[in-house]
Structure 1
C-alpha cells in the first residue's frame, strides 16, 4: 500500500507551461502535435482553459484558519488530492513507458490513474503496479464477446471503477494528425523519420522499450498486422456510440463503480442517473471531438447545481494548474482529472515526470486553499464569486 509521498519539485519547471515547452523540445513534432492539438480550428481546446480561468474565488483573510486538507473521499476511498490522471490514448507514443511511469506515481501519491483501452500498457501490468487501484476507461467494443472478456480481466486485476466513454461516436477531425500520418491507418513518412532523428533521447528510449502497441488489445489482434490492417481492425473492433441499450447490460454485469465520461448536458446526466451509474465526468475529450461545443466548465456548473446530490459529478478537459482545479471544484465538481498536463510532465522529465507534475499541482492547490481560507475541498463552493 502506498504511503504518503514526499512533495518534490524540479525548480527548472515550476509550471505546466514550462513542462509543455520542455516536452516540445524532447519529443518528435508528430508526437507533440498529437498530444497538444484539438480538432478542427482548436476553438474548444482554448475555450476549455480560458473559460475555467474566468471563474473567480473570494479569499476570507480575517477568518480563523488552522489548516487546509486536500484529502477527498470518492467511491469509498480517501485520496490525497482531489485530482487524478485522465485516460490518454497512445501514451507510449509521446514518451516510452509513459503509462507505467504515471500509474506508479499516481499510486505512490494516492491519486487515481485511469487506463485507456487504447493506450500502450496492459490491464494486467497497470493493475499490478497500482495493486488493483487503477480505474479503466472502456471504448465500447462492437462485439459483446470482447467486452465480456475485458470485464473478466478487469475483475481479475481488481479494478474498482469502470469508466465508459460516450463522446467518441466518430473520431474527431484533427488536421495536424492527418498531416502527420497519425490518422487511422497511421503511416511513418520520411518527414516523421527526420523528426525522430532530431530527438535522440526519445529515439533511444523507444528502442529500449520497443515500439508502442495497444497492449490491452493484443490478445484480440491477429498477429503480423501491417498499418493498414491495424486501422481496419480498430474500425471493426469498436462501436463508439453509446446508448441506453448498450449501457444497461454493462450496469448489470459490472459489480464495481460505474462512471460515464463525456457528458456535456443535463439531459445525458439525467439518463446516467436513471441507468444507475455512480458517477459522471463532464468532459469534451480535451477539445478533441467537437470544436463547436461548449467548454466543460459551463455544463459542469449547471449539472452540478442540479444533480450533485444524486450522482458523483467530476470534470476533465482544460485544467492546467492548481488554481484551475480550485476553480473547477468551486464550480461544483467533486473531483477533477487532467490528461495533457501529466503527459507534458512525463514527456519533459521521463521517469521523474509523474512525481514532479503531481507534486506541482498539489503545491499549487495547497497554496490556493490556504490563501482563500478553505479548510476542506468540499468548502470550495463557499469561495465562488457568482
Structure 2
C-alpha cells in the first residue's frame, strides 16, 4: 500500500507484513533450498535471496536464479549494482516474479563486488545510490530497501551513515538495514570483514533516534532471539545472519519469542519430517541431495549424535544418486532433545 509521508514529502510503500525479524541475505548460503528450510521454522521471518547482480537478473537464467517456492513469502530479492536503469529493470523483473521487496546491497566487501562498482564501495557514492533507489521506486510498487555498513575504510561513521541514510530515504527508500560494522575494503578480506571491524550498535541506535519516522533494521553479530529482543528496544527490526545459518535451530524460538505465536513445529526432527516431501520433489527435478543437505550442518548443534549426523551427510550426501534415505539415516543417529544451548 502506498501512502504519502508528509515529514519526508514523498510517497512510500508500506512493508508487506512485518519487518521486525528477518534472515540476512548471504552469498552462497541463502539459496531457495535454505530459505524453504528456514521457513519451516518460522512463519514470520522475512527471507532474502543471495545477492544477485543486475546483469545476472537481466541476462541470466531467470527461472534458475529467481525461482522460489510460494511458502517462502514474505521473501525479498537482494540486488547488486549501481546503474540506475539496470537496477530499475532488475527490480521490475523481481516484482514480476512475485518478490515482496527489493533490497539494494551497499554492504558487501568482496573484491569482485568492488571491481563491479557495487556493494560496500557505494558507501562512498551516496548520491549514486540514491539515484538507483529513485529509479527502482519509479519502476515497482513493492518496497525498495537498502542494506549498508556504518562506513568504509577511513570514513567517519557519524557522517558517512547519516549522509547515506538521508540520501536514500529522500529518494524513497522504505527502510534501511544497517550492518553495524565498518567494511575495510583496503586491508581486510571479505571473511575478516565479517569479524574484525568492531561492532557499533550504538551508532545504529543513534541513526534511529535521528530518523524516528524511518524503519531501521539492525544486523551484525547478533547471536539469537534473546539478543534480538534487546535490540528491538532501540530499532524497528533485527536481521539475523550467520547465527540463523550455522545454528538454524535458533529459528524455532523466533515466532514465540518475538511475536507471541507458536512455532510451526516443535523440534528439529519435526522440521525434517516437514522437509522430506520438498527434498523428494527436488530430487525428482534433478537437484542433487547435497545441494540441500549442505544447509543442515548445524541443525542439531549441541545434541548427542550431532557429529554423527554431520559425518553421515558429508560422506553419503555427495554420492551420485543419494536420496532421502541418506537424510533419514542421518537423523536416526541423533538423540531426541533440544540443543545444549537451549537446555541450559
Range of TM-score over shorter length: 0.5 to 0.7
Describe the shift of the 1:275–1:312 C-alpha distance in structure 2 as closer, same or farther (beyond 3 A). Answer: same
Describe the shift of the 1:117–1:262 C-alpha distance in structure 2 as closer, same or farther (beyond 3 A). Answer: same
Offset of residue 306 of structure 1 = 1.0
Indicate conservation of the 8 Å contact 1:167/1:284, yes or no. Answer: no
Offset of residue 325 of structure 1 = 0.8
Q: Give a deviation string over 1:28-58, Cα, whole Å, max 9, x none.
A: xxxxxxxxxxxxxxxxxxxxxxxxxxxxxxx
Find the counterpart in structure 2 of residue 359 from structure 1: 252
Structure 2's unaligned 5+ residue stretches are 1-12, 54-62, 151-160, 184-191, 261-344
Offset of residue 250 of structure 1 = 3.5
Find the counterpart in structure 2 of residue 335 from structure 1: 237
Aligned length: 214
Of 63, 74, 77, the match for 2:16: 77
Q: Tell me the SS of whatever aligns to 2:254.
A: helix
Of 246, 251, 264, the match for 2:134: 251
Find the counterpart in structure 2 of residue 276 from structure 1: 172
Q: Distance in 2 between matches of 1:77 and 1:142?
A: 26
Describe the shift of the 1:246–1:361 C-alpha distance in structure 2 as closer, same or farther (beyond 3 A). Answer: closer
Q: Give a deviation string over 1:216-246, Cα, whole Å, max 9, x none.
A: xxxxxxxxxxxxxxxxxx7765633333124
Q: CA RMSD in A?
A: 3.6
2:209 corresponds to 1:305: yes
Of 102, 110, 119, the match for 2:44: 110
Query: Which sits farther off after the overlay, 316-325 or 136-145?
Result: 136-145
Q: Distance in 1 between matches of 2:84 and 2:169?
A: 26
Offset of residue 118 of structure 1 = 4.8
Q: Distance in 1 between matches of 2:84 and 2:131?
A: 15
Of 55, 75, 82, the match for 1:134: 75
Indicate conservation of the 8 Å contact 1:127/1:158, yes or no. Answer: no
Higher percent of residues as strand: 2
Of 23, 43, 67, the match for 1:125: 67
Normalised to the residue count of structure 1, the TM-score between the two structures is: 0.47
Q: Tell me the SS of whatever aligns to 1:163.
A: strand
Q: Distance in 2 between matches of 1:292 and 1:342?
A: 20
Offset of residue 139 of structure 1 = 1.5
Q: Distance in 2 between matches of 1:92 and 1:76?
A: 21
2:38 corresponds to 1:98: no
Offset of residue 154 of structure 1 = 0.3
Indicate conservation of the 8 Å contact 1:296/1:317, yes or no. Answer: no
Find the counterpart in structure 2 of residue 320 from structure 1: 223
Offset of residue 83 of structure 1 = 1.2
Q: Tell me the SS of whatever aligns to 2:81.
A: coil
Find the counterpart in structure 1 of residue 97 from structure 2: 157
Describe the shift of the 1:87–1:293 C-alpha distance in structure 2 as closer, same or farther (beyond 3 A). Answer: same
Q: Tell me the SS of whatever aligns to 2:221.
A: coil
Offset of residue 301 of structure 1 = 1.5
Q: Tell me the SS of whatever aligns to 1:361.
A: helix
Q: Tell me the SS of whatever aligns to 2:25.
A: coil
Q: Distance in 2 between matches of 1:341 and 1:161?
A: 23
Offset of residue 114 of structure 1 = 1.1
Q: Tell me the SS of whatever aligns to 1:164.
A: strand
2:24 corresponds to 1:86: yes
Structure 1's unaligned 5+ residue stretches are 1-73, 173-183, 185-233, 346-352, 368-386
Indicate conservation of the 8 Å contact 1:263/1:280, yes or no. Answer: no
Q: Tell me the SS of whatever aligns to 1:77.
A: coil
